[in-house]
Structure 1
Amino acid sequence: MQQPIQAQPIQEIELLLVEDSETQLKNYHDAIDNFHETDLGQLYQFRTEIAKNLSEALDKLAKKDFDFAFVDLKLESSSEQLEGNTITTLILDKFRFPVFIISGHIGDIDPELQENMNIFFQAREKGSVDIYQLLKETIDIYKTGVTKILKRNGKVEEYLNRIFREHLIHSMDYWISLTKENKINPYDAVLRHILAHMQEYLEVSENGFFENYHAPEFYIVKPIKQSDLTVFTGDVIMDTTEKKYYLIITPTCDLATGVDREGKPRIPKAKYITLLEINTKSTIDFDAKGNKRVSTHYLPPLKDIFEGGLVEFQLLKSETLENVLDTKKYNIKFSISSAFKKDIVARFSNYYSRQGQPALIG
């Protein structure tokens, strides 16, 4: 007997409308009502809150978590202050959800905000914006789960609460003893300890199965680890002249920096950096993607960032650290995330440690 199809639960999207014009508010609600009549609108329902000035917006933000905000720049026609800039900056800095400025004063967006336009912060002219299309764009972002993950009561908070209640209690005596015995502040160590627990939660599904990873998880775009003194294992750099990509494979211990006993910067041991060329022109077949070739490692493409390619273990290049740090010669494009970097290093090491044996007859 065929099982009945389970109805998909309605997803409720919390939308903050920061707008003082009754006409524009009516336009929003008419578009939302029309959207709810569509097939997509039967699955995703917008719940709106209205704030007509800065004070009301602050009050709404303090009391409720939102997924998106549509913000007008100029909220009081008699005022020269563009309160929408203040509200937008606050949301992006403190509340971590996407903002769409919808205003007749787009040119008055704060210059610092203009420099950081991206998928989480966009601007549209009030007179020409297609609100229905804008609602569909918010759905596309919402489907990724990013707003549910990052909001104050989202998945990250859920994991942090579990780690606080169930795990930290087993190590707090140790951290406290450090502050007493060594008189040091273990803040960064405790932070790493907490994040390590969160990573453990994320490696398997709620059913206990190992999760499949996606191409964006392979990379750290806009590298987090940066230094004027060194580079890092797993950084991918581009030769500014030949436009070739290289992976830095030099051991981490040779690239380490720090401070010596006299408080002076400690420079890396490595004077030369080992680079592996990344072949972006090679035909990538099933064996290459599955890393079944011992001499290469597959790097997946990432839209608008990297076309993908093969790390060629046989194409080694040595370059001085000074040259690699020279931005006129090389640019650091992105880094390989730790989960994948370790496997590349292990496979590269194994490739050059192979000894082989003479062929046997009989």
Structure 2
Amino acid sequence: MYKFLLVEDSLSDVEAFQTTIKRMNRGNGQTIYELVIAESVDKAMEMIDSTYNGAIIDINLGEHSGNEVIHMITEKLRVPIAIFTGTPDTSADSLGIPIYKKGEANQEEIVTELCEISDTGLFSVISGVGIIEEAMTKIFWNNLYPQINIWKLKKSQGVDTEKVLLRYVVSHIQELIDTEVPAYETEEMYIKPPVTNEIRTGGIYTSKRDSMSCIVLSPPCDLAIRADGKPKTDRILVCEIDDNDSVVSIITSGIEKKDKKIKAIEKALKNNYSDYYHWLPRNDIYQGGYINFRKVITYSPEDFAKEFEKSEVKVQEFFVKSILNRFSAYYARQGQPDFKFKDESKHIFENAVCLEGKSSN
């Protein structure tokens, strides 16, 4: 069952949507779609909540603007929005909200788009009645509230318990879902845009001079901001990201058979091709590539700001830890010291035989 709110003051447009909904329900042989009408901004503000699968909003609503409803939803709710208007004067497109111009798009197209958005499960996960909400309720009663005296004590000791509890709750949610979700999709590796403009470990940056891509691998503690607004470190460490296709060409060079080429690529994706390459997947969020641990550069915070554009994507924290582990291992590696192993082995064997002889006597 899909439930939509139509915010529209034009009777002809309301009737067109109602006719479309009736036709779509008849086509399915049952009532799958429900349309609720709000003919004014005030009505829409009263009616909209997290139970809707989407809101279809006109911008020009007499003395008021549909932008008011959009602003309220994006500030307080998590409900998919589609704009259907003859005057598409809105900044909502920066939020990824689809805009349909009257006379150019049909009603069924809009309803179908909202259904497809709803079917992704995104709003089932994070809506006010979604999976995360259920998980937090479970964690609250089973894990957190029974420990309330601990947090009362922490608060009395001057601890910022609200921020600490935020981190603590997130760790509980992660623990809860780790055993319930399938293998990662490559898109999960990235956060776009980054949630902060501060330089963070795992942030991916592009050079203003030559479009070189790199990833920040300074330890998070070094990038913590001091009271003066500057990071603790005076050098920011980055590694270059080699072009995906160039590395694949190197990996498959000299290999003739298709299946062997695929196996070589798979080996690289698992980070088993080389100690110094770390795969970053290509998808619709990021172009991908291979971090090259051999190409290390450091910049002062001032030079870093001059050299690089603002970060548009960041590697998710879980994956950052894996990258740092491999980066550290690459520079910590060393061969086994060379001893006269044959002589040592003979000596140990003769010693053991001698000890056995003494114990038998």
* 2:46 matches 1:59: yes
1:294-305 equivalence runs, <5 A: 294-303=275-284, 305=285
Query: What's the CA shift string for 1:300-356, capped at 9, x where partnerless?
Result: 1131x4211111111222222211122x54432321111100000001111121212
Which residue among 286, 296, 314 is the counterpart of 2:266?
Answer: 286
* 2:34 matches 1:82: no
Between Structure 1 and Structure 2, which shows a larger proportion of helix residues? 2
Match of 1:153, SS state, is: coil
* 2:317 matches 1:331: no
* 2:58 matches 1:72: yes
* CA distance 1:316–1:195, change in 2 (3 Å): same
* CA distance 1:184–1:274, change in 2 (3 Å): closer
* CA distance 1:251–1:185, change in 2 (3 Å): closer
8 Å CA contact 2:223–2:232 kept in 1: the answer is yes
1:46-195 equivalence runs, <5 A: 46-61=33-48, 65-75=51-61, 79=62, 81-107=63-89, 109=90, 113-114=91-92, 116-119=93-96, 121-180=97-156, 182-195=157-170
* 2:297 matches 1:317: yes
Match of 2:233, SS state, is: coil
Of the structure 1 ranges 20-29 and 213-222, higher mean CA displacement relative to structure 2 is found in 20-29
* CA distance 1:140–1:42, change in 2 (3 Å): farther
Q: Match for 2:334: what amino acid?
A: Q
Which residue among 192, 197, 200 is the counterpart of 1:226?
Answer: 197
8 Å CA contact 1:234–1:335 kept in 2: the answer is yes
8 Å CA contact 1:14–1:66 kept in 2: the answer is yes
* CA distance 1:269–1:20, change in 2 (3 Å): closer
Q: Match for 1:333: what amino acid?
A: E
* CA distance 1:147–1:267, change in 2 (3 Å): closer
Match of 2:82, SS state, is: strand
Larger Rg: 2
8 Å CA contact 2:83–2:99 kept in 1: the answer is yes
Match of 1:48, SS state, is: strand
Percent identity of paired positions between Structure 1 and Structure 2: 24
* CA distance 1:329–1:155, change in 2 (3 Å): closer
Distance 2:57 2:270 in 1: 47
The offset of 1:32, in angstroms, is: 2.4
Which residue among 7, 21, 24 is the counterpart of 1:35?
Answer: 24
Query: What's the CA shift string for 1:257-298, capped at 9, x where partnerless?
Result: 233xxxxx2643422222111112321711111111222111
The offset of 1:105, in angstroms, is: 2.4
The offset of 1:125, in angstroms, is: 1.7
> Which residue in 1 is equivalent to 2:182?
211
Q: TM-score, normalised by structure 1?
A: 0.81
Structure 1 runs not aligned, ≥5 long: 1-11, 260-264
Q: Match for 2:281: what amino acid?
A: P
